[in-house]
A = this chain, B = another copy of it.
Amino acid sequence: MAMKQEALLKKVYEINDLNKALALLSWDKEVNMPPGGITSRIQQMTTLGRLAHQMATSTEMGDLIEAAAAELNGAGYDSNEASLIRELRRSYKDATKLPEEFVVRATEITGQAHGFWVKARANNDFAVFQPWLAEIIGLCQEQAELYGYEDEKYDALLDKYERDMKTAEVRAIFDAVKTELVPLRQVIEERGTAVNDNFLHQHYEIDKQKQFARYAAAAIGYDFNRGHLGTVVHPFATSFSRDDARITTRWNPDFLNPALFGTLHESGHAMYEQGTHPDLARTPLARGTSLGIHESQSRMMENMVGRNRGFWRTHYPVLQAFFPAQLGEHSAEDFYRAINKTMPSYIRVEADELTYNFHIILRFELEQAMLNGDLQAQDLPAAWNAKFEELLGIVPPTDTVGCLQDVHWSRVYFGYFPTYALGNLYAAQLFETAVAQNPAITTELEQGRTTSLLAWMRENIHQHGKKFTPRELIQRATGRPLSHEPFMRYVTQKFSDIYGL
């Protein structure tokens, strides 16, 4: 290995190990830490975060990157070496764009804003949060200027989560989704046959839920030899290496769906990390390339696999054996229809596969309006409710289940939301291509297996880690740029069938 490259890797590994220790401090905080431990835990996380940041932004690091870059010679664009240099240059540049003064101020403001958001949501009192939202909007505007952009302000923020994606592209795609999805939703509402999902809302013993969740996660291909399932309040997936990619779940004793589909969702995230190429280990390339692509893997496992009719033909009898009293009288087809019931609802995280994107499109549009100064903080509730009615046909009865429901706007997270819907669209396009290239995927799914599907994802998505941008990756994997069409084909076919249209 070239000498400069070796010196760079040594430092990269060191920073990686610090960041992974930080990730463990954070995971443990949610999963195991006793309440008393919080103060010292925050101190420890702050120290490790600062050390890692200092190393990553030092002039020594800058010099190491450029020295190794000069030594690259013929290494092609696709090589690990060249990809690493691209990623390091990019993050080095980004990390030095925000002055410390701004970071400190933003941390202070959001630290306070979060508390007021909690209070406002609990008491359905938007006024309490309103001045803080105004501050957050200001911070987002400032941050966009600091990062810089060519076309639209929103580009600068979107880019943090979905590298090189432009607001205009997302807007075009979302508009197309909207145009086709609104009528589909309406026709289901008006003409669809009724779906009964009452039996999912019964008492399901948590111990058995845990056993079945593990069974289901293993069935879709999550590797427990390199994984771990923990219990938390707010589920997430995290990885300390490709060989230790963990999932978390919360357990609801009176509703089967949250833990079951939550586990499949987080497994999809973790399987992406488990599938990164071993040669990328300990570098910033050993992770998913963007939030959108990451979400494509979780949504695919949750919905396209986990809410697939064939999949349950195989696994439903096992679930019935765990819960004979609750499910004994309901067929696999009943279950398939129940878990795919669609209905407009107020809360994003509880939304079904068909209506979920509406919740995102709404936020995407409101965020842009706030960022561009077209929507003031005090006008948010009215704007939210109007858009909600336009897209979903209902109006939230309170701001608590309306514009106050998500944590994101109490942080400087503008630009994050669209990645959820992009994930659904990527997922459909990847799935459609995979099935076209390997029909065995469909046959296997009918038998409850994902071997070939997972192999295709490993080959075309997972192994590359963060080597390529989302745009590059979707082009390489499917031969064309992201489009709304595969998603629309998928939901139209699936829901027309279920609702007998």
Contacts and interface: CB of A to CB of B under 8 A. Distances in A.
Given A18-B47, A21-B21, A47-B17, A40 B282 contact: yes
Interface in A455-484: none
A198 interface: no
Nearest to A225: B36
Contacts of A99: none
A281 B40 contact: yes
A32 B230 contact: yes
A224 B24 CA distance: 21
B240 A37 contact: yes
Contact of A244 (B18, B41, B240): B41
Contacts of A371: none
A343 B244 CA distance: 45
Interface string A231-253: 00000000011011000000000
B223 A47 contact: no
Interface residues of A, number: 39
Given A21-B44, A43-B17, A223 B36 contact: yes
A14 interface: yes
Contacts of A281: 40
A36 B228 contact: no
A33 interface: yes
Nearest to A35: B225
Given A241-B37, A243-B37, A44 B17 contact: yes
A226 interface: yes
Contacts of A28: 24, 28
Contacts of A225: 34-36
A249 to B, nearest CB: 15
A188 to B, nearest CB: 42
B14 A40 contact: no
A20 interface: yes
Interface string A10-29: 00011001101110110010
Interface in A212-235: 223-228, 230
Contacts of A224: 34
Among A20, A34, A35, A227, which residue has the most Cβ atoms of chain B within 10 A?
A34
Contacts of A24: 21, 24-25, 28
Among A31, A37, A51, which residue has the most Cβ atoms of chain B within 10 A?
A37
Contacts of A259: none
A48 interface: yes
A39 interface: yes
B244 A13 contact: no
Contacts of A227: 34, 36
Interface string A380-414: 00000000000000000000000000000000000
A227 B37 CA distance: 8
A44 B32 contact: no
A31 B48 CA distance: 22
A240 B17 CA distance: 19
Contact of A33 (B22, B43, B46, B228): B228
Contacts of A41: 240-241, 244
Contact of A226 (B22, B36, B51): B36
Contacts of A226: 34-37
B32 A228 contact: yes
Contact of A240 (B31, B44, B51, B282): B44
Nearest to A281: B40
A264 B33 CA distance: 20
Contacts of A48: 17-18, 21
Interface in A285-325: none
15 contacts: A13-B43, A13-B47, A14-B47, A18-B51, A21-B21, A24-B25, A28-B28, A34-B224, A34-B243, A36-B226, A36-B244, A39-B243, A40-B282, A41-B241, A41-B244
Given A40-B281, A43-B282, 14 more contacts: A14-B47, A17-B46, A18-B51, A21-B22, A24-B25, A32-B228, A35-B226, A36-B227, A36-B243, A37-B226, A37-B240, A37-B241, A39-B241, A40-B241
The 7 A-B residue pairs whose C-beta atoms are closest, nearest first, are A37-B244, A40-B241, A36-B226, A17-B47, A36-B243, A17-B44, A21-B21
Interface of A: 13-14, 17-18, 20-22, 24-25, 28, 31-37, 39-41, 43-44, 46-48, 51, 223-228, 230, 240-241, 243-244, 281-282
